[in-house]
Amino acid sequence: MVQSPMSRKLARNGGLFYPVIGFALFVTFLYLAFGDLWGFNFNREEIKLSFVERNGTQFFVDGKAFYINGWNSYWLMDHAVDYSNRPRIKGILQAGAKMGLTVCRTWAFNDGGYNALQISPGRFDERVFRALDHVIAEARKNGIRLMLSLVNNLHAFGGKTEYVKWAEKEGVALSSSNDSFFYDPTIRRYFKNYVKTVLTRRNIYTGMEYRDDPTIFAWELINEPRCMTDPSGDTLQDWIEEMSTFVKSIDRKHLLTVGLEGFYGRKSPKRSSGNPEFWAADLGSDFIRNSMLSTIDFASVHVYPDHW
């Protein structure tokens, strides 16, 4: 049998060909299976997105009118922590894109508890942050923009109650109401630190800081804020003013909204005709007053027709 020059070379090298190929295949498997754990970005396809802007009462992208047609999936980050759930994230974003939807609203928070993004004030779980990175990167691939909410007024996923608990452990903000979230200086500092950390987070998949990523349509300060201990609305208004100014000091590229349900306050002439019931005027929020700040770019209303 006549050996080829390559065969003779491999024979002289002790038959290294197959071990080398085997090692290369093993490395390739690790790269494809676990590469995103180390921040590798497999999909280098660049999606061209521009920031959504507002002019008067109209949203624009690249000088053309932009219309929101979207949905709410608050659970995206939480589910993305488990790698086995990530195909579901991809699937729902792809389905939204095929339906012509443009914006998805989702949580950019989970305070304390299971799969917490913020474990305690100033302590973050990198594993969960990478899950949020993944959600944003996957949305970008599908041309979907995200409206990211920064904290919950309700107990789910921690919310303002968790912030108050953290402060109580430090011996401050001792109150029978979790509304101290809105006025206690220590808790305000906790929240500002959280906001800064999120806005300046560098996505391991896209390489962009969140504040520089046009995939994000807007920030939402808080989901459905209520401050029932101050029905006048002054406490909540002061908090919105301070926090919206703080957000804009870090990020002037993105739009900002409050996250209101849409109730009219005690001083509003529309409280009797526009609210679902009389109690809605005593929750410390006011749709008009809260939305008229120069640092707030657009308003929102949460409608629950089956309940109201």
| pLDDT score recorded for residue 66 | 98
Q: Please report whether residue 1 resides in a domain.
A: no
| pLDDT score recorded for residue 168 | 93
Q: Please report whether residue 13 resides in a domain.
A: no
Instruction: List, for residues 238-288, the tens digit of each pLDDT value.
Output: 999 999 999 999 999 999 999 999 999 999 999 999 999 999 999 999 999
Instruction: List, for residues 48-61, the tens digit of each pLDDT value.
Output: 899 999 999 999 99
| pTM of the entire predicted model | 0.85
Q: Can you give the residue range of the structural domain that contains 281?
A: 47-291
Percent of the chain with pLDDT over 90: 80
If one counts the domains in the chain, the total is 1
Instruction: List, for residues 122-156, the tens digit of each pLDDT value.
Output: 999 999 999 999 999 999 999 999 999 999 999 99
7 pLDDT more than 50: no
43 pLDDT more than 60: no
Give the DSSP letter of residue 202: B
CA distance linking residue 247 with residue 108, whole number of Å = 14
Instruction: List, for residues 180-236, the tens digit of each pLDDT value.
Output: 999 999 999 999 999 999 999 999 999 999 999 999 999 999 999 999 999 999 999
Q: Please report whether residue 164 resides in a domain.
A: yes
Q: How far is CA 140 from CA 6, 46, 52, 103, 251, in A?
A: 47, 9, 14, 11, 19
**In this structure, what is the dihedral angle of CA atoms 192, 194, 195, 196, given to the nearest 10 degrees?**
90
The Cβ-side half-sphere exposure at 176, using a 13 Å CA radius, reads 2
96 pLDDT more than 80: yes
Q: Please report whether residue 37 resides in a domain.
A: no
Q: Please report whether residue 11 resides in a domain.
A: no
Q: Please report whether residue 57 resides in a domain.
A: yes
Q: For tokens 């998949």, name the residue.
A: 205
The CA-CA-CA angle for residues 260, 265, 268, to 5°, reads: 120
Q: What is the CATH number of the domain that holds 204?
A: 3.20.20.80
Q: Among 61-70, 173-182, 285-294, whose mean pLDDT is lowest? A: 173-182
99 pLDDT more than 70: yes
Report the mean per-residue pLDDT for the chain: 89
Q: Please report whether residue 234 resides in a domain.
A: yes
| pLDDT score recorded for residue 19 | 52
**In this structure, what is the dihedral angle of CA atoms 160, 163, 167, 170, given to the nearest 10 degrees?**
160
Q: Please report whether residue 17 resides in a domain.
A: no
Amino acid at 305: P
Q: If you average pLDDT over residues 23-49, what whole number do you get?
A: 51
pLDDT band at 22 (very low <50, low <70, confident <90, very high): low
40's tokens: 């590798």
